[in-house]
């Protein structure tokens, strides 16, 4: 049996105080990769929390410039070591190395790190607000303590707990990170953390600014997110595990940001199908099967109105699903989860149009699967029929009319996204105007005539949404600078001398930070 | 027995489906006011939730202009009926009508309503963000459903559940409010809600935009904050009741904003005492005894460094506390709560310098009370010695040296405010530089050379802080526009046609709303 890999705790790689070990799988072969990783015990996690809390105090002296330079140096080092990192990520995730990992996900990852650096340096995230008559000033500043980051399985780089969106946001805000690697890609996380530590050393930052553990048991995980010395938690993953952590963090008054589940309803109205049905069948099939459907924003429900164009569309999608290759799933748990979810949907009244077979492709896999249900049946059992089936699957709901399509929208839980396709000629506008206001408040991002799978890293992006998509509808996990504010506390300075203020709030504003001064956004100085 | 007053539910004043009744006290006489109020049962609360959810849909058509005009009309009506409202508030609260209620609190209340109207109209709260290359746009919009507001006892107007800061913020964001009156001033709440309903009718808004109930049992209160059709909750009040509501709301994934407790530590460094000890004794005594100390920001702990100037300062404050009149407390519960808290502090090792007697003034009252404890004793029992004593009381902690004063700061829980007084000559600067970074992260607002009791309603104000002062360190209950964002959800529009966008996100920007366009704040149009 191979020796367990080391953890990165308190600034050094060292043997874990392990309560056990685990081996990740290669999903393409369904066999273990041969590496062994430790399950950290409580003492080790408590030590990481304490080291992060100390680093949180020390880091202030390096904020923002030192922190920004660390993020940039780290991004450079990831690029310099891209081949090794991508190769490991491909082995652990089964995702295609050249197209997906090297060409898309790695540049996205380093881009996010550099955007977070820029947000820290320019103060764009911290909303500096100054009222001169009362001499009261405020901004967002790093909250106290480290941030625990639990990354998901589906983006081994761009949402990795030590390089992804939550990591970039927490560090960019000035918070140390305790990364809890996703169990399906611990090796990728290890290689990334090695680069992070070297970048910290090169910049002279507290080395405990980035720590990495691989797994804990449930009780120790609960301690991590609720400890008095932890600042906050970012979690992306399964709903059940997330809600268990949420209950513990909430009870301790510790912020926890969760991305839990989303079925991302798509309405395709009759006029749009009439205008461009074939092309919509292409777009939908491509979006739904991309990456074997393993995106948080995968279109898991399509609402259609009964009629001939809908019948044709369903047939066209069915043909495409049957013709498309079956992708490899990220992990054994995804294959079994998808099997269970499809069974649950069928038990709730959905009928299989195609697919439904586990192990239909290379490695962990599930055949491309379509289900359908009438609007009336959905309305009889809306909760079970919103079971998330994470993977290459979608459920078509065929409503009798616009009234029923609206009723369906009223029954949706909170989602990350919702889409409406309508005719360019305006023939769907009445239906749009009735459905859109209902769908709007159920989703974080409303799309028109566009599939939800792409998530641009731009300031206006919202990768969030009402519960249970996330834990709070006011925050986004993607989109800089907004994502940094999750890890800030609102910090007001009342009658504090200019030289004691943080740079962003002083009268002189040599960096040209955008500030709300007496109610007006300005990049200039404030008269002394 | 008098007939119970009516509740305002679903747009009309009507007899309550009461599970019981209660009578508020006149705190000056310690006798019941003679009015009787209902305890609403579950069916009534469920009806209010449903009416608010429907109003939440209807209100979109009136946002922002109709909502803004309602807030302004309501403010006008409060001013026109100021005499009756102030008189009732004085009877129910014991607060001085001309000085406190008419001259300070009522103008603050109407000012907040008008500021919220302005924030709605100008879009200053909603952070419109536009990225032109990707055509993705986002802003904060009202979350779905009504907002339950639980107002505190200490501001019968400015924090009233149907006229105060949370009310103004929720309505300003576009959310209907279900006000749960504080049991100590139901009559004031009733008079205010009467004006609100008339203002809604005059503006043609959904009449269920404002509803008012007076009390529920614990189980029904839990239903209110966790119901699927409620949007969020704003709560200001006791820590124990607040935490019970928080647990229920959290479990349902419903945002709840709480202001729970705060002892507002004040450091007074030796150089400051040397320079202006007498004047600081005046300032502190005035601040601590203002309104019989019944402010969330009352200075409940003072940290001093051992020495002659500290001894003199303590003596000076003691004399002032003994010479000052004993104020009337807001309610029987405040008197008993203060007695219990002072006893708890004494049991934990604090010694009484003066005061400690219930019923020492007119009506509900407690003698002006000072306690003291050494830094070493505090550090042995920091939790019990941070027991909030809501009222005219403060605890002096005398530390051996700056090291111990820092250790004390490290043990503070989250607070709304923290103050440091230091010498203008610079002799305290070393101590300041060590203490300030520690205190900074424990408090929402850091003051220098100023008492914390004043809370200006300006954009930069933070009336919030780390747990347990509030439930989340990123939000403020005072300070417009920021306070409105608590009741918004982040709403992104991806590839949505210009005429389907909310006005704040369209290319044309006739209102000159400040928007973050391609990373730069701008008030202009976006090229089509």
The pLDDT tens digits for B188-216 are 999 999 999 999 999 999 999 999 999 99
Taking each continuous run of H as one helix and of E as one strand, the counts in chain A are: 14, 23
Q: Is the Cβ pair B482, A129 closer than 8 Å?
A: yes
Task: Please choose, from the candidates A167, A168, A350, A150, the residue with its C-alpha nearest in 3D space to the C-alpha of residue A263.
Answer: A350
Cβ-Cβ contacts under 8 Å, A253 against chain B: 414, 467-468, 471
Handedness of CA B207, B212, B217, B221 (dihedral sign): positive
- If you write DSSP's letter for every residue of B38-95 in order, what string do you get? EEE-HHHHHHHHHHHHHHHHHHGGGTTHHHHHHHHHHHHHHHHTHHHHHHHHHHHH--
In this prediction, residue B284 carries a pLDDT of: 98
Task: Please choose, from the candidates A507, A124, A136, the residue with its C-alpha nearest in 3D space to the C-alpha of residue B459.
Answer: A136
Cβ-Cβ contacts under 8 Å, B421 against chain A: none
Indicate the DSSP class of residue A103. Answer: I
Domains of chain B (ranges, CATH numbers):
7-11+42-260+476-483 (3.40.605.10), 265-448 (3.40.309.10)
> Minimal Cα–Cα distance from A509 to chain B, Å?
16
pLDDT digits (tens, 9 = 90+) for B301-333: 999 999 999 999 999 999 999 999 999 999 999
Contact A335, A329 (CB under 8 A): yes
Find the closest chain A residue to B449 by CA distance: A495
Task: Please choose, from the candidates A286, A325, A332, A299, the residue with its C-alpha nearest in 3D space to the C-alpha of residue A93.
Answer: A332
Of B448, B462, B491, which has the smallest distance from its Cβ to A497's Cβ?
B448
Please tell me whether residue A123 adopts helix, strand or coil conformation. coil
Reported as type and span, the H/E element at residue A268 is strand A265-268
Q: Is the Cβ pair A255, B474 closer than 8 Å?
A: yes
In this prediction, residue B457 carries a pLDDT of: 95
In B385-452, the DSSP E strands lie at 393-399, 415-421, 443-448
Size of interface A-B (CB pairs under 8 A): 203
How far apart are alpha carbons A190 and A177 in whole angstroms?
A: 14
* Given the residues A35, A44, A72, A259, the one annotated as active site: A259
Please say if the pLDDT value at position A1 is more than 80.
no
Q: Is the Cβ pair A131, B460 closer than 8 Å?
A: yes
The percent of residues above 70 in pLDDT, for chain A, comes to 100
pLDDT digits (tens, 9 = 90+) for B339-387: 999 999 999 999 999 999 999 999 999 999 999 999 999 999 999 999 9
Please say if the pLDDT value at position B152 is more than 80.
yes
Mutant choice from A489, A495, A500, A501 vs B, greatest count of B C-beta within 10 A = A489
Please say if the pLDDT value at position B1 is more than 70.
no
Question: What are the distances in angstroms from CA B344 to CA A360, B265, B321?
Answer: 68, 18, 21
Find the closest chain A residue to B457 by CA distance: A134
Cβ-Cβ contacts under 8 Å, A252 against chain B: 467
Question: Which phi and psi (to 5°) does residue B70 adopt?
Answer: -60, -50
In terms of Cβ atoms closer than 10 Å to its own Cβ (0-12, 13-18, 19+), residue A357 is middle
pLDDT band at A503 (very low <50, low <70, confident <90, very high): very high
> Minimal Cα–Cα distance from B136 to chain A, Å?
6
* Given the residues A175, A288, A296, A419, the one annotated as active site: A296
What's the average model confidence in pLDDT over B443-464?
Answer: 97
The percent of residues above 90 in pLDDT, for chain B, comes to 99
Q: Is the Cβ pair B445, A492 closer than 8 Å?
A: yes
In this prediction, residue A476 carries a pLDDT of: 98
Which two three-digit tokens encode residue B355? 């005061």
Of B460, B495, B519, which has the smallest distance from its Cβ to A136's Cβ?
B460
Q: Is the Cβ pair B521, A519 closer than 8 Å?
A: no
Contact B391, B329 (CB under 8 A): yes
Mutant choice from B169, B489, B498, B501 vs A, greatest count of A C-beta within 10 A = B489
Task: Please choose, from the candidates B477, B60, B71, the residue with its C-alpha nearest in 3D space to the C-alpha of residue B258.
Answer: B477
Please say if the pLDDT value at position B528 is more than 90.
no
Task: Please choose, from the candidates A160, A186, A157, A179, the residue with its C-alpha nearest in 3D space to the C-alpha of residue A22.
Answer: A186
Q: Is the Cβ pair B476, A490 closer than 8 Å?
A: yes
> Minimal Cα–Cα distance from A156 to chain B, Å?
25
**Does the annotation count A259 as an active-site position?**
yes
Mutant choice from B494, B504, B513, B519 vs A, greatest count of A C-beta within 10 A = B494
How far apart are alpha carbons B462 and B444 in whole angstroms?
A: 6
How far apart are alpha carbons B151 and B436 in whole angstroms?
A: 32
Find the closest chain B residue to A56 by CA distance: B441
What are B14's strand-pairing partners?
B7
Q: Is the Cβ pair B519, A144 closer than 8 Å?
A: no
Of A129, A460, A519, which has the smallest distance from its Cβ to B492's Cβ?
A460
How far apart are alpha carbons A145 and B251 in whole angstroms?
A: 25
Please tell me whether residue A18 adopts helix, strand or coil conformation. strand
Please tell me whether residue B380 adopts helix, strand or coil conformation. helix
What are B265's strand-pairing partners?
B301
Q: Is the Cβ pair B466, A489 closer than 8 Å?
A: yes
CB atoms within 10 A of CB A76: 16
> Minimal Cα–Cα distance from A332 to chain B, Å?
30
Find the closest chain A residue to B58 by CA distance: A437
How far apart are alpha carbons B172 and B68 in whole angstroms?
A: 7
Task: Please choose, from the candidates B441, B443, B395, the residue with its C-alpha nearest in 3D space to the C-alpha of residue B418.
Answer: B443
Of B131, B458, B514, which has the smallest distance from its Cβ to A131's Cβ?
B458
Indicate the DSSP class of residue B527. Answer: -
pLDDT band at B491 (very low <50, low <70, confident <90, very high): very high
CB atoms within 10 A of CB B402: 17
Q: Is the Cβ pair B444, A486 closer than 8 Å?
A: no
pLDDT digits (tens, 9 = 90+) for A105-118: 999 999 999 999 99
The percent of residues above 90 in pLDDT, for chain A, comes to 99
**Does the annotation count B105 as an active-site position?**
no
Indicate the DSSP class of residue A98. Answer: I
Please say if the pLDDT value at position A44 is more than 80.
yes
How far apart are alpha carbons A241 and A223 in whole angstroms?
A: 14
Find the closest chain B residue to A500 by CA distance: B433
CB atoms within 10 A of CB A306: 15
Average confidence score pLDDT of chain B:
97
Question: What are the distances in angstroms from CA B185 to CA A419, B97, B225, B239?
Answer: 47, 14, 21, 19
Find the closest chain A residue to B436 by CA distance: A500
In this prediction, residue B2 carries a pLDDT of: 76
Q: Is the Cβ pair B144, A461 closer than 8 Å?
A: no
Residues listed for chain A: 528
Taking each continuous run of H as one helix and of E as one strand, the counts in chain B are: 14, 23
Q: Is the Cβ pair A467, B253 closer than 8 Å?
A: yes
Any alpha helices (H) in A290-374, and if so which ranges? 308-323, 332-347
Q: Is the Cβ pair B519, A488 closer than 8 Å?
A: no
Cβ-Cβ contacts under 8 Å for B319 (sequence gap 6 or more): none
Q: Is the Cβ pair A500, B247 closer than 8 Å?
A: no
pLDDT band at A528 (very low <50, low <70, confident <90, very high): confident
Contact B309, B268 (CB under 8 A): no
Please say if the pLDDT value at position A2 is more than 90.
no
Of A57, A464, A500, which has the smallest distance from its Cβ to B490's Cβ?
A464
What's the average model confidence in pLDDT over B118-137?
Answer: 97
Please tell me whether residue A498 adopts helix, strand or coil conformation. helix
How far apart are alpha carbons A268 and A290 in whole angstroms?
A: 19
Task: Please choose, from the candidates A227, A277, A260, the residue with its C-alpha nearest in 3D space to the C-alpha of residue A464.
Answer: A260
Question: Which phi and psi (to 5°) does residue B55 adopt?
Answer: -60, -35
Q: Is the Cβ pair A491, B254 closer than 8 Å?
A: no
What are A118's strand-pairing partners?
none
In this prediction, residue A198 carries a pLDDT of: 98
Q: Is the Cβ pair B129, A466 closer than 8 Å?
A: no
In terms of Cβ atoms closer than 10 Å to its own Cβ (0-12, 13-18, 19+), residue B61 is exposed
How far apart are alpha carbons B477 and B484 in whole angstroms?
A: 9
Of B252, B448, B475, which has the smallest distance from its Cβ to A496's Cβ?
B448
Of B60, B485, B514, which has the smallest distance from its Cβ to A521's Cβ?
B514
The percent of residues above 70 in pLDDT, for chain B, comes to 100
Which two three-digit tokens encode residue A43? 């003492």
Q: Is B34 left (phi over 0), alpha (psi -120 to 50) or beta?
A: left
Cβ-Cβ contacts under 8 Å, A449 against chain B: 495
Find the closest chain B residue to A140 by CA distance: B474
* Given the residues B44, B72, B92, B259, the one annotated as active site: B259
Which two three-digit tokens encode residue A315? 């047939």
């Amino acid at each position: 049996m191979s020796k367990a890999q080391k953890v990165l705790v308190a600034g050094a790689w060292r043997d874990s105080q392990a309560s056990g070990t685990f081996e990740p799988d290669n999903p393409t072969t369904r066999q273990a990769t041969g590496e062994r990783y430790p399950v950290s015990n409580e003492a080790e996690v408590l030590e990481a929390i304490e080291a992060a809390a100390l680093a949180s105090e020390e880091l202030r002296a390096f904020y923002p410039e030192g922190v920004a330079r660390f993020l940039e140096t780290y991004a450079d080092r990831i690029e310099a070591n891209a081949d090794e990192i991508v190769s490991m990520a491909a082995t652990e995730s089964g995702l295609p190395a050249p197209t997906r990992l090297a060409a898309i996900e790695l540049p996205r990852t380093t881009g996010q790190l550099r955007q977070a650096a820029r947000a820290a340096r320019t103060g764009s995230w911290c909303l500096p607000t100054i009222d001169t008559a009362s001499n009261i000033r405020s901004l967002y500043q790093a909250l106290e303590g480290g941030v625990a980051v639990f990354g998901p399985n589906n983006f081994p780089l761009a949402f990795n707990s030590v390089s992804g969106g939550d990591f970039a946001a927490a560090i960019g805000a000035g918070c140390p990170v305790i990364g809890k690697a996703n169990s399906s890609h611990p090796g990728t996380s290890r290689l990334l953390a090695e680069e992070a530590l070297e970048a910290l050393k090169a910049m002279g930052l507290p080395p405990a600014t980035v720590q990495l553990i691989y797994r804990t048991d449930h009780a120790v995980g609960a301690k991590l997110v609720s400890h008095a010395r932890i600042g906050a938690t970012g979690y992306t993953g399964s709903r059940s595990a997330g809600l268990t952590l949420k209950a513990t963090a909430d009870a301790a008054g510790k912020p926890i940001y969760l991305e839990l589940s989303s079925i991302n309803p798509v309405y395709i109205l009759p006029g749009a199908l009439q205008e461009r049905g074939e092309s919509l069948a292409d777009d939908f099939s491509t979006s739904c099967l991309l990456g074997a459907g393993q995106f948080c924003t995968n279109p898991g429900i399509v609402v259609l109105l009964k009629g001939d164009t809908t019948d044709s569309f369903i047939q066209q999608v069915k043909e495409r699903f049957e013709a498309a290759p079956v992708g490899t799933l990220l992990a054994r748990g995804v294959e079994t989860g998808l099997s269970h979810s499809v069974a649950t949907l069928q038990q709730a009244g959905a009928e299989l149009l195609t697919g439904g077979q586990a192990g239909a492709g290379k490695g962990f896999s599930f055949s491309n699967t379509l289900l359908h249900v009438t609007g009336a049946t959905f309305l009889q059992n809306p909760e079970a029929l919103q079971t998330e089936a994470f993977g290459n699957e979608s459920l078509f709901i065929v409503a009798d009319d616009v009234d029923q399509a609206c009723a369906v929208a009223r029954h949706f839980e909170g989602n990350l996204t919702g889409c409406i396709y309508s005719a360019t000629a305006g023939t769907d506008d009445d239906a749009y105007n009735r459905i859109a206001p209902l769908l709007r408040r159920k989703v974080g991002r409303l799309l028109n005539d566009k599939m939800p799978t792409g998530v641009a890293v731009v300031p206006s992006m919202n990768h969030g949404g009402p519960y249970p998509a996330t834990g709070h509808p006011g925050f986004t996990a993607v989109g800089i600078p907004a994502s940094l504010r999750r890890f800030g506390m609102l910090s007001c300075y009342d009658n504090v001398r200019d030289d004691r203020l943080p740079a962003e709030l002083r009268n002189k504003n040599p960096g040209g930070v955008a500030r709300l001064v007496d109610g007006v956004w300005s990049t200039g100085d404030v008269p002394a």
